[in-house]
């Protein structure tokens, strides 16, 4: 009963806080701005608390960003298999949590060494199949407002074509992914529609990499997409005021000059949820049952960043909003 009351309060509060169509984020997201991850924008600090910067040191033993990732529990990060070279020692990698601006590090960020990296045994670098890897941190991290795991979908969760989801990262930007993200290298967010598999296969029919069953496509026809450096990062979709991890940035080779621009290709996370559970032991994972999921269009905000808010806190906040109007 308490859970139902909390849900009702959350829904009412969300309706009060959502912007009007004339001024809201819903409308502004559809305006092309070709200056970020091909049409993305600066993310608010802490809005995507599961976002990870996968970093590797160079010959000078200085770390640099190579890929994205998602925190899924206190000690595990999920990313793309192609981000990790088996010939590179595990000690060469680190996972930065709570990052917002890479060249202006937050004092609350956590830079964690890596205990082990597990690439999926079926990963094929030629076809892109099973492009998923798990990274175990040396020690569990304490969750904060800016460091928190993302929920995983169940194995049978469906993500319908046309649904609007969010991809985030610090990858290359601009036309053709030719430019480095300028200082202070703020995390970019981009809202993209999911594309049905048959349409996606048509886009890539002349490519060496056909679209497989474990792949999910997303993107628009106005040059909005993820780029190199975003690999392994999260594609999250809204469900009941929360977000769940639908995909991982995998590839988007422009092997044709076709118009419209081909969508980006992501790892379909539900396909690998059982494998993730087996490798991690399942401890600390939040896997949302499809029975309680319903697609939504909730924009990112304090109620949709994966934080668990109490019913009492919601009631107090709701009262604070309503009292001035009485």
Query: Which residues have a catalytic role annotated?
Result: 82, 131, 231
The answer to whether the beta carbons of residues 240 and 293 sit under 8 Å apart is yes
236: nearest Cα among 159, 135, 144: 159
Which among 133, 225, 173, 170 has a CA at the least distance from the CA of 51?
Answer: 170
Can you tell me the distance from the alpha carbon of 33 to that of 326, in angstroms, rounded to the nearest whole number? 41
Residue 104 CB neighbours (<10 A): 11
d(CA 230, CA 250) in angstroms, rounded, equals: 9
Q: What is the DSSP letter of 291?
A: G
Write out the two tokens for 185: 């290298």
Q: How far apart are CA 44 and CA 283, in angstroms?
A: 30
- What 3 state SS string does 122-186 have? CCCCCCCCCCCEEEEECCCCCCCCCCCCCEEECCCCCCCCCCEEEEEECCCECHHHCECCCCCCE
Q: What is the DSSP letter of 92?
A: G
Count of other CB atoms within 10 angstroms of residue 311: 16
Strands 188-195 and 164-169: antiparallel
Half-sphere exposure of 59 (CA within 13 A, CB side): 0
CA atoms within 13 A on the CB side of 179: 13
Residue that is written with structure tokens 């992501």 in the block? 266
């Amino acid at each position: 009963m308490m859970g139902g009351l909390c849900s009702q309060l959350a829904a009412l509060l969300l309706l009060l806080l959502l912007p009007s169509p004339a001024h809201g984020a819903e409308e502004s997201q559809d305006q092309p701005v070709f200056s970020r991850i091909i049409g993305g924008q600066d993310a608010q600090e802490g809005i995507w608390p599961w976002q990870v910067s996968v970093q590797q040191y160079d010959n000078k033993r200085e770390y640099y960003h190579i890929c994205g990732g998602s925190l899924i529990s206190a000690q595990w990060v999920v990313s793309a298999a192609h981000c990790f070279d088996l010939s590179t020692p595990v000690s060469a990698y680190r996972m930065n949590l709570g990052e917002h601006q890479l060249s202006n590090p937050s004092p609350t960020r956590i830079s964690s060494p890596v205990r082990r990296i597990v690439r999926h045994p079926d990963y094929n670098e030629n076809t892109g199949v099973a492009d998923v890897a798990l990274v175990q941190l040396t020690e569990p991290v304490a969750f904060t407002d800016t460091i928190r795991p993302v929920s995983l979908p169940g194995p049978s969760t469906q993500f319908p074509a046309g649904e609007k989801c969010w991809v985030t990262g610090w990858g290359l930007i601009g036309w053709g992914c030719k430019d480095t993200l300028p200082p202070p290298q703020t995390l970019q967010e981009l809202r993209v529609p999911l594309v049905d598999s048959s349409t996606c296969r048509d886009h890539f029919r002349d490519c060496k990499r056909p679209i497989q069953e474990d792949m999910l496509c997303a993107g628009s026809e106005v040059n909005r997409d993820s780029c190199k450096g975003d690999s392994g990062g999260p594609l999250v979709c809204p469900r009941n005021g929360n977000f769940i991890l639908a995909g991982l940035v995998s590839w988007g080779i422009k092997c044709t000059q076709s118009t419209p621009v081909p969508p980006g290709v992501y790892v379909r996370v539900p396909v690998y949820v059982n494998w993730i559970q087996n490798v991690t032991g399942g401890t600390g994972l939040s896997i949302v049952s499809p029975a309680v999921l319903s697609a939504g269009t909730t924009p990112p905000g304090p109620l949709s960043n994966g934080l668990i808010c109490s019913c009492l806190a919601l009631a107090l906040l709701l009262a604070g909003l309503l009292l001035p109007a009485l």
